[in-house]
Structure 1
Amino acid sequence: MSDEANRSAFMEIKGRMIENTGKLKQVHNQMRNKEGEKKRAFLTLEELRQLPDDTNTYKSIGINLDLFCIGRMFLLEPKSVLMNEQEQKLKDSETAIASLKASKEYLEKQKAETENNLTELLQQDPGLAQQIMSMTVM
């Protein structure tokens, strides 16, 4: 391949690497958020289970105006309603985490494939590797 073709191939691979890395970071952040939601739901359920069934429980609701939270309101709810909501949050979080793990595995495979493509390209054209190294050193 010509130098220009190798450079354009390198730039394409580099773009895919950056894109894959960004997507992986996004999936990691989403997984961390879902793990936190799951933990909060689990801990809330544990606390609710310790209460007698006839206990007054209150659900906190944020009052939003456009993008701003302007206050909180508390609604009296039966314990069973709050427990059902927390159980649903727990299940939803687990489902989302499983889906995100599958996405993470797929993105990691794509990243590994892209890295292999880059390695192959650099092995085929050692001059390109030297040009890249001279560009990054400056």
Structure 2
Amino acid sequence: MGDDANRSAFIELQGRLIEATGKLKQVQNQMRAKEGEKKRAYLTLEELRQLPDDTNTYKSIGKVFVLEPKSLLVNEQEQKLKDSESAISSLQTSKEYLEKQLAEVENNIRELLQQDPGLARQIMSMTVM
């Protein structure tokens, strides 16, 4: 009975570990994407600020370029920059939470395997095949 309970507990912990790892990778990918957006917005903003105020500026909408005032484009890029920064901070909080959750699951698996050396041997024999 104890063997089956430990085995089912291990399987559950393994599922949680896989789920937490997947979520963590997803959050890291989202953070990388937001960092790229932030960098593009910053670089575009820096280039726009160097232009005189009366310069014709164009906004890309798909394959079309639309004439827009420089001030509108600057405001748009500043907003993109702020949005990216807030999204990154939110994703950082999620990442920290998932890392704690992952560490907790790993510790639970470690404890379970230390309590039941027979289960650890079974798992090792299964992975060697």
RMSD of Structure 2 on Structure 1 (CA): 0.6
For residues 53 and 109 of structure 2, the distance between their equivalents in structure 1, rounded to whole angstroms, comes to: 62
Match of 1:131 in 2: 122
| Percentage of identical aligned residues | 81
Match of 2:86 in 1: 95
Bigger helix share: 2
Match of 2:31 in 1: 31
Task: Tell me by how many angstroms 1:37 deviates.
Answer: 0.1
Match of 1:18 in 2: 18
For residues 66 and 127 of structure 2, the distance between their equivalents in structure 1, rounded to whole angstroms, comes to: 59
For residues 61 and 120 of structure 2, the distance between their equivalents in structure 1, rounded to whole angstroms, comes to: 57
Which digits, 9 at most, give the CA deviation of each residue in 1:4-44, with x for residues without a partner? 11110000000000000000000000000000000000000
Which digits, 9 at most, give the CA deviation of each residue in 1:22-79, with x for residues without a partner? 00000000000000000000000000000000000000011xxxxxxxxx01110000
Bigger strand share: 1
Runs of 4 or more above 3 Å deviation:
none
Give 5+ residue unaligned stretches, structure 1. Answer: 63-71
Which digits, 9 at most, give the CA deviation of each residue in 1:80-105, with x for residues without a partner? 00000000000000000000000000
For residues 22 and 86 of structure 1, the distance between their equivalents in structure 2, rounded to whole angstroms, comes to: 32
For residues 32 and 128 of structure 2, the distance between their equivalents in structure 1, rounded to whole angstroms, comes to: 36
How many positions carry a matched residue from both structures?
129
Q: TM-score, normalised by structure 2?
A: 0.99
